Chain A
């Protein structure tokens, strides 16, 4: 990488004069490529996994690639205080679901605070923010007891005792993984009070929140978030769609960044995912982040939050060749993606796309003609 790199004899050479090359965009909060989002029938649905419901043919994957996105964190919904398990995908469009999994990425799990877990399914617990916090506390107390059972069993086994293994508990197992730093917590949250309450609970129980998701009032408790070491993944400028989003401000990402929080901008939307660098650019206008800081919000920072920054998130020798080529400044409204590479392979090419849509139109015309001339 650099100013003078010589092409090996068999290399394809792309002349990108006047163009911009960036790391592939990473979305830390997405629900694309998923057949269903919420298992909302129980307060703790940690036994379910997004991995089981991946749809590799979801057109949103391709449309995200057309916006320079190469990696996305596919999350369970926010119907319950502790939701389902999440997966990180590389957008290898055309491959199977299994082939899209980001190899070696730490698995995650969704938590949710506030109005959504309170609101969904009035017949199930909880109904208040206190109740949400209590459900999480109760689950972790049970998980700790479960972890202790296993530890006893393991130690008895190593001491040569004839021990009976505990019955596997698929609800508590992922929570033990959280306690043992094997699974990342992505906690949907809005209001400052619930954010602080979760941080205090996590400190007390002894686990880390990897990212606070949405975290629209994060700016109000930014020092506390930084002290816990949680990342924050937020929207650029959405607000007012519910009461807990009413104090949301477009300066949120900048304020949290200045307080020392690792921040990313996410989409949570199959539409928004298509222009994430432009969303990130709003933090330059509202809050005065630098160009590099803004671009990092959708590249390096989410890579760090997902602990995959040894592989992706920046253009460095040895990293995966996940790249996006733009016809202008990706932080400008006047630019678009020309090519997107995953693992060094082209998964989106605008020129090819334009060619293909002509072919598709011809095929469609031929088909409808056939239909019309049917006897």
Chain B
């Protein structure tokens, strides 16, 4: 019994088990909570940041890392991905991404995150220490999971196992999605289908509200409606995937009318709706900057320039990879916005502090401050720049290996003897 209690306690603090104490000193500490600290030190205890400053003393028995000439940053947060949910795109059975049916709010993404996925060590080796991994597809896709890129089990990985519900906002589609060359429907017909789907969403929300009342009166558990309670009670936002301006507008108007907290994800045309997003205080988990500009007559740099525009408009946003095998390119998705108007420090915050704040984890992650989870990376320069190496990675206060399948293959074939002719 005591063993069970202990393991529950460990799950609750979301930490991978240890009372290790480490002092990293002599680094340039980029806290993101103020100016960088030259020759700074960070004390890590019990998986948390226990001190940040210039003259920290190593407690007895602490591991001391001298990081002279190196830079310490908060680990990066890729806040909309499928890391751990898909191994090989083309092989369906390696993916746990989409469940059958449109309304699956009871699906828990977390329980199928594969801790032994080859993608996890590859991702963290480039400085991404935690991700939001999400089921997609249908309309209520499932509850997203926020996880560390380390842990023996998904429970140990979890920062928030049951995160926000992911909602794929319906699109008015005149061409069927799976057969774009088929004959188009009339707009009226497509609109009718769209309206029906939105009515269904409204019905689910309404049912959940009734359920909340009925439950107090002792009604039996309905798992799907139960999963909607955090949303309708305002305890959790929903992450709504919408790309084009009209879809974004539709989703925002629905959320406002039904009094639901919303985070926009994807947001291919978010900047076109920045006034609306600001008015309703809706933050954005923006998709990658390096994706094809949607319309022929849009500026070629539309998606490179969009983060800068959102920043100037005062809409809170994070930049995400929306990926699994290229989650490690997250820093470049952010940096790509800099030459087109996003300040450098904002680009860095868009993959560290801002996603944490947007997801309600601003007190736990995203900057180097006392009390936060010790997810840190030690680099030889600016982590958003391609030529920078991430040299050491700390997750939950533990140093984790930057080794991965790809480096193993590199070393193996680097050592291949010259073939004899």
Contacts and interface: CB of A to CB of B under 8 A. Distances in A.
A366 B371 CA distance: 56
Nearest to A246: B88
A276 to B, nearest CB: 12
Interface stretch (A13-21, A44-52, A137-145, A248-256): A248-256
Which of A63, A249, A250, A282 has the most chain B CB atoms inside 10 A of its CB?
A: A249
Contacts, number: 110
Interface residues of A, number: 49
Contacts of A328: 339
A80 to B, nearest CB: 19
A247 B122 CA distance: 12
Contacts of B300: 62-63, 66, 274, 353
B292 A271 contact: yes
B216 to A, nearest CB: 48
Contacts of B304: 336
A59 B406 contact: no
Given A223-B419, A242-B89, A331 B386 contact: yes
A218 to B, nearest CB: 10
Contacts of B178: none
B88 A281 contact: no
B345 interface: no
Interface string B280-313: 0000000000111100110111001000000000
Given A278-B386, A284-B386, A360-B297, A334 B90 contact: no
A238 B329 CA distance: 10
B339 A275 contact: no
A292 to B, nearest CB: 14
A56 to B, nearest CB: 14
A332 B386 CA distance: 7
A304 interface: no
A66 B87 CA distance: 34
Interface size class for chain B?
35 or more
Nearest to A284: B387
B290 A271 contact: yes
A362 to B, nearest CB: 13
Contacts of A336: 301, 304, 339-340
Nearest to A67: B300
A173 B360 CA distance: 66
Contacts of B152: none
Given A223-B418, A278-B332, A66 B301 contact: yes
B335 A240 contact: no
A242 B91 contact: yes
A351 B386 CA distance: 27
Given A219-B413, A281-B386, A334-B339, A63 B293 contact: yes
Nearest to B87: A240
B259 interface: no
B385 interface: yes
Nearest to A354: B299
Interface in B331-367: 331-332, 335-336, 338-340, 344
A275 B304 CA distance: 11
A275 B339 CA distance: 13
A272 B329 CA distance: 13
A241 B413 CA distance: 22
Given A239-B325, A255-B414, A335-B339, A247 B88 contact: no
Contacts of A286: 410
Which of A239, A250, A271, A333 has the most chain B CB atoms inside 10 A of its CB?
A: A333
Given A240-B89, A243-B88, A246-B88, A281 B406 contact: no
A281 B413 CA distance: 21
A348 to B, nearest CB: 9
A311 interface: no
Given A237-B326, A285-B389, A334 B88 contact: no
Interface in A331-375: 331-336, 353, 357, 360, 364
A272 B289 CA distance: 11
Contacts of B384: 333
Contacts of A59: 296
A93 B200 CA distance: 48
A270 interface: yes
Contacts of A241: 88-90, 325
B284 to A, nearest CB: 21
A309 interface: no
B409 interface: yes
Contact of A271 (B291, B324, B326, B418): B291
B335 to A, nearest CB: 4
B301 A243 contact: no
A220 interface: yes
A200 to B, nearest CB: 13
B291 A224 contact: no
Interface in B358-411: 384-389, 406-407, 409-410
A243 B90 contact: yes
A249 to B, nearest CB: 4
B332 A242 contact: no
A281 B331 CA distance: 14
30 contacts: A63-B293, A63-B300, A66-B301, A219-B409, A219-B410, A219-B413, A222-B413, A224-B419, A237-B329, A239-B325, A242-B89, A242-B90, A242-B91, A250-B406, A251-B407, A255-B410, A255-B414, A271-B291, A274-B290, A281-B386, A281-B387, A284-B387, A328-B339, A332-B386, A332-B387, A333-B332, A333-B385, A334-B339, A334-B385, A336-B304
Given A238-B325, A255-B414, A284-B387, 14 more contacts: A237-B326, A240-B87, A240-B119, A243-B88, A249-B407, A250-B406, A251-B409, A271-B291, A287-B410, A327-B339, A333-B384, A334-B385, A335-B339, A364-B297
